[in-house]
Amino acid sequence: MKSSDSIRVRTEHLRVGCFLRHPVFDENDVMILPASTEIIDSIKQALLDRQILDVFLHPEDGSAMFSLPPQSGVAESPAQGSKAREATFAALVESITHVSEQIAPQLEEFAARIPLVVENVGPPLRERSIRIGCEPYNHHQHELLTQQFATTKKLMDTMIRHAVAGLTQDTRAINTVAKRACSELVRDSDQAYAASAEVSQDPGLNERTIRTSVLAMATAIEMGWDEDHVREVGECGLVHDWGLHRLPEALREKRSELTFEEQELLIHHPLHTFDLLSKMQNISDSVRISAAQVHERLDGSGYPRGLTSEQIHPYAKIVHVADTYVSLTEETWGRPAYIPYDVMTYLLSQVRLKRVSSEIVKSLLEVVSLFPIGSHVTLSDGTEARVIRRGQGNYTEPVVQRLDENRKIRLDEAHDLLVDLSKSHLKVSAPLPHPIRKEQRLDEDAQKGW
């Protein structure tokens, strides 16, 4: 018997080569294929010959089917290959859209039950935070943090694969990751964020969510939230893009600009994040609903539901700002990585347009400064430096570390290479692109259509 969460799929869209672990039913609840069946051409054609135009799959099999790459077949001409790819993509769009339509009412009903207020139960975590001042990073701690984030990336890879396969999982591992990040942010927020940003020079999706999670937690700490709420913000950051893994890998990792059809497919992924999290044990309702709202904007111009400020959970508002910052400072989907200073000024422009919260962006500025941690700048004496710590009360006067003629220096080198610009005659004269990330300036032309 098919379950209430079975996925309806057009028979013509069944993917040849997909192995189904569960029985398949027709619309009359009659089993038409047993468990452990591989979809082959003859089976698919037999169903169509019997006028079985729609089938119902177990959610696990539906998720696996959507994640499969197109099957390779006999040699095709370029024209045939192009038409086949277009047909396959069109079928995939229709199937994912159909599933999204099934999920949307569940999300609406769930959202109506969740309070959208955050009230501290414990003391603000900010009270325990240590401001380091003009001190170099601890080299041993930097290595430890880098290892921890690499371990987190492997954990997330495994959990996402299991989630897409429809397996029930316990989120206590994610909870532990977020708790550990809380401790590191309290110990030295600047170094913890810098380490997360260096997980990879060519970050994939999971590296970006780790960086987003850490930045969102640091922002929540600055806003005066208690440890439990900060931890849940971190959990939301880690899982908010899981739904992307139901899309083809070629689309998730695409480097060129997305087509209109691909963009339309992309906006469904928060719904699928919500669906995947339904099988997660020990995840809070607040995290689950927030993960589905991260791409909403306060003015209603976001997706997937076009919510406005009073309908969006506070966790989602914070993660949205962090995710925007991280996404724009890294190359993705045909868009270059932009200079962090320009991204911060872009976020300030979004405050003026009432798309993001002024309180959240102000707190983000407190965390990374206007010339953000990890970015490169030219000083007023013509030398180059790297920002390593936030300023003490002034967004434009961070702590920087001078670089040599090769634009390199160890992060824990001699103290006299550090300059606290709030106590120096030197000032930042201009932002510079990162020597590895090939950053570009973010001007008004680049923002058109956003």
Structural domain includes residue 99: no
- Rounded alpha-carbon distances, angstroms, from residue 198 to 137, 292, 309: 14, 27, 33
What are φ and ψ of residue 6, in 5° steps? -60, 150
What is the distance between the alpha carbons of residues 181 and 87, in angstroms, rounded to a whole number? 45
Whether residue 53 is found in the same domain as residue 162: no
Last residue of a domain, one of 304, 335, 366: 335
Residue 374 has a CB neighbour count (10 Å cut-off) of 20
Position 162 scores a pLDDT of 87
Whether residue 302 is found in the same domain as residue 164: yes
Position 386 scores a pLDDT of 93
Whether residue 160 is found in the same domain as residue 57: no
Question: pLDDT tens, position by position, for the chain (450 residues)?
Answer: 666 667 888 888 888 878 787 888 888 888 788 777 878 887 888 888 888 888 888 877 876 676 544 344 444 455 545 555 566 666 667 777 878 888 999 999 999 999 999 999 999 999 999 988 899 999 899 899 989 998 999 999 999 988 887 788 888 999 999 999 999 999 999 999 999 887 555 568 889 999 999 999 999 999 999 999 999 999 999 999 999 988 877 777 777 888 888 888 889 999 999 999 998 999 999 999 999 999 999 999 999 999 999 999 999 999 999 999 999 998 887 788 999 999 999 999 999 999 999 999 999 999 999 999 999 999 999 999 999 999 877 889 999 999 877 776 655 555 568 999 999 999 999 999 988 878 999 987 667 656
Whether residue 36 is found in the same domain as residue 181: no
Q: Under a CB-based contact definition with an 8 Å cutoff, are residues 104 and 303 in contact?
A: no
Whether residue 176 is found in the same domain as residue 309: yes
Residues with Cβ within 8 Å of residue 233, at least 6 apart in sequence? 213, 216, 217, 219, 220, 225, 315, 318, 319
- Rounded alpha-carbon distances, angstroms, from residue 89 to 15, 56, 75, 92, 322: 12, 20, 19, 5, 31
Whether residue 164 is found in the same domain as residue 247: yes
Whether residue 157 is found in the same domain as residue 267: yes
Last residue of a domain, one of 286, 317, 335: 335
Whether residue 240 is found in the same domain as residue 135: yes
**Which CATH number does the domain housing residue 10 bear?**
3.90.105
* 170: β partners: 281
Entry pTM: 0.81
The helix or strand, by DSSP H or E, that contains position 37, with its residue range, turns out to be strand 37-38
What is the distance between the alpha carbons of residues 312 and 152, in angstroms, rounded to a whole number? 28
Whether residue 29 is found in the same domain as residue 158: no
For residue 253, the one-letter residue type is E
Structural domain includes residue 306: yes
Structural domain includes residue 448: no
Structural domain includes residue 44: yes
Structural domain includes residue 398: no
Position 38 scores a pLDDT of 78
Domain count, the chain: 2
Structural domain includes residue 84: no
The helix or strand, by DSSP H or E, that contains position 420, with its residue range, turns out to be strand 418-420
Whether residue 139 is found in the same domain as residue 16: no
What is the distance between the alpha carbons of residues 313 and 235, in angstroms, rounded to a whole number? 14
Q: Which domain does 59 fall in, by range?
A: 1-68
Last residue of a domain, one of 335, 350, 372: 335
Whether residue 40 is found in the same domain as residue 175: no
**Which CATH number does the domain housing residue 194 bear?**
1.10.3210.10
Residues with Cβ within 8 Å of residue 108, at least 6 apart in sequence? none
Whether residue 136 is found in the same domain as residue 62: no
